């Protein structure tokens, strides 16, 4: 879809996720033990997770605050037909089971959405602070190696910022899991000797006050190219810093 959009000169791919999808996502992530950052749910604007095919494409969810029923009523009023994916009724999928449990629970949905709205505000603030750190404390040397200054970051933001940078340099769709990034972050900021590590297709070194990130030699393909890493870095920094 990203390639087709780019071929037509488009920059935003619109998806039809609704407020009901947000509530379902909240409960599914809560069951999985997600942090507050994940419980904030889907973002109205996000980067395409697929690179390089999705380079320059943003995901937009324009009806995220409307219910599924409202959306269907609007389509009926306009005389627009739609297709229901049969998998949306298959109880083998967790989302379908959660949707069934939520049927008729309008008060609960309202309370979850109110909670998510507050978490969204916190998430936007956190991302703006990470964008500021990326502008001020991250550089790229002449060999395309990312140099990070992790000093002064609160622990939770340190883990999140390091995860984002590993995603960028490694060319992955998502950051590595927190349970993998957290011990690495603690090692990098401790006084203990650090001889290097690898995570998410990235080589990590510490040199005095800076941490160096470079793609592993085994990582092949366009996703590992320096030009794309620079583009990912700029795109995420811009998205996180929107409104600053």
Condensed to tens digits (0 to 9), the pLDDT of residues 130-153 reads 999 999 999 999 888 999 999 999
User: Cα separation of 220 and 159, whole Å?
Assistant: 26
Instruction: Say what the pTM is.
Output: 0.88
H/E element holding 78?
helix 68-78
Cross-sheet strand order for the sheet of 202-207: 138-140, 146-148, 210-215, 202-207, 197-199
- What residue ranges do the domains of the chain occupy? 2-125, 128-240
Is the pLDDT at 14 greater than 90, yes or no? yes
Instruction: Indicate the CATH number of 2-125 among 3.40.50.150, 3.40.50.970, 3.50.30.30, 3.40.50.620.
Output: 3.40.50.620
Condensed to tens digits (0 to 9), the pLDDT of residues 56-82 reads 899 999 999 999 999 999 999 999 999
């Amino acid at each position: 879809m990203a390639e087709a959009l780019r071929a037509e000169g488009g920059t935003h791919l619109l998806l039809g996720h609704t407020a009901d999808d947000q509530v379902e996502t909240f409960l599914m992530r809560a069951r999985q033990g997600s942090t507050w950052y994940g419980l904030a749910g889907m973002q109205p604007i996000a980067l395409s997770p697929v690179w390089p095919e999705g380079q320059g494409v943003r995901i937009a969810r324009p009806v995220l605050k409307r219910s599924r029923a409202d959306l269907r009523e609007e389509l009926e009023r306009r005389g627009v037909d739609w297709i229901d994916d049969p998998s949306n009724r298959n109880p083998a999928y967790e989302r379908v089971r959660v949707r069934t449990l939520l049927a008729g629970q309008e008060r609960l949905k309202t309370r979850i959405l109110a909670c998510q709205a507050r978490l969204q505000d916190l998430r936007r603030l956190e991302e703006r602070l990470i964008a500021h750190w990326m502008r001020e404390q991250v550089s790229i040397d002449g060999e395309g190696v990312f140099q990070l200054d992790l000093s002064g970051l609160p622990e939770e933001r340190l883990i999140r910022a390091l995860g984002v940078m590993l995603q960028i340099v490694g060319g992955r769709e998502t950051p590595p899991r927190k349970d993998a990034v957290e011990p690495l972050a603690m090692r990098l900021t401790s006084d203990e000797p650090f001889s290097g590590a690898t995570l998410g297709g990235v080589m990590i070194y510490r040199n005095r006050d800076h941490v160096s990130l470079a793609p592993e030699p085994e990582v092949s393909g366009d996703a590992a190219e320096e030009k794309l890493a620079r583009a990912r870095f700029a795109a995420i920094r811009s998205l996180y810093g929107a409104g600053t």
